[in-house]
Amino acid sequence: MPGSWPTQKEDMRLAEELLIRHFHDDGEGEFGVEEVTVVQEGSLNVERATWVIELEEAFQDKYGESKGLKITNSVISELIITGKKRH
């Protein structure tokens, strides 16, 4: 995505800071994109993880709704790709 994402380094740094903060606050070693809870027997409630919502809100505040969602998706994709390369 070189050239089409000129703020990539800055956006990735913001995402890393947010993930580090959540890691320290939650004490979790892994991050999911969704949080699943059982609401009643045989029923699940699937929602976006808190860190995803916060990331989305930060980018929407910075870039506006449409571009913020696009940047959020790009950042999450990059995190997934980078994570696979590290393992």
The position carrying tokens 């571009």 is 67
* pLDDT tens per residue across span 5-36: 999 999 999 999 988 887 776 555 555 665 66
Q: What pLDDT score was predicted for residue 50?
A: 85
User: Which residues does 37 contact at the CB level (< 8 Å), separation at least 6?
Assistant: 44, 45, 47
Nearest to 16 by CA among 76, 67, 85, 84: 76
- Report the half-sphere exposure of 30 (CA within 13 A, side-chain side): 7
Residue 35 contacts residue 50 (beta carbons within 8 Å): yes
What pLDDT is stored for residue 62 in this prediction?
A: 96
